[in-house]
A and B are shown apart, each in its own frame.
Chain A
Amino acid sequence: MLVHTSLLNHTLHHKPAGVRSSPMQKYANPLRFTRLADKILPWSSAVAVAAFIGGLYLALAASPPDFQQGESVRLMYVHVPNAWLSTQTYMFIALLSAVSIIWKHPLADLGAKAAAPIGLIFTGLALITGSIWGKPMWGTWWVWDARLTSVLVLFFLYLGYMAIWRAIEDQQKASKVAAILALVGVVNIPIIKFSVEWWNTLHQPSSVFRAEGPAIDGSMLWPLLVMVLAFQAYFVTVLLWRMKAEIVERKLLALQYQEASE
Chain B
Amino acid sequence: MSTLMDIVNYGKYAPYIWSSYAIVMGVIFYMGMSSFKRLARLQKDLDRIKGTRSDRSEQSERPGRNGSSDYSED
Whether A and B touch (Cβ < 8 Å) is answered with: yes
Contact of A245 with B31 at beta-carbon distance under 8 Å, contacts A14-B69, A78-B21, A132-B19 already known: no
Cβ A125 vs Cβ B69 within 8 A = no
**Secondary structure at chain A's binding surface: helix, strand, loop or mixed?**
helix
7 further A-B pairs in the complex, CB-CB below 8 A; given A14-B68, A242-B39, A245-B39: A12-B71, A70-B11, A72-B17, A82-B24, A128-B20, A245-B38, A248-B42
Given contacts A30-B70, A241-B39, contact A74 B13 (CB under 8 A): yes
- A contact residues, total (Cβ < 8 Å): 48
B residues bordering A, Cβ < 8 Å?
2, 7, 10-14, 16-17, 19-21, 23-25, 27-28, 31-32, 35-36, 38-39, 42-43, 45-46, 49-50, 53, 60, 63, 66-71, 73-74
* Interface 9-mer from A92-100, A207-215, A216-224, A250-258: A250-258
What chain B residues lie within 8 Å of A14 (beta carbons)?
A: 67-70
Chain A residue with the shortest CB-CB distance to B36: A241
**Which residues in window 69-102 of A have CB below 8 A to B?**
70-72, 74-75, 78-79, 82
Also in contact, A244 and B39, with CB within 8 A (given A11-B71, A128-B23) = yes
The docked-state distance in angstroms from the alpha carbon of A252 to that of B50 is 9
Residues of B within 8 A of A251 (CB): 46, 71
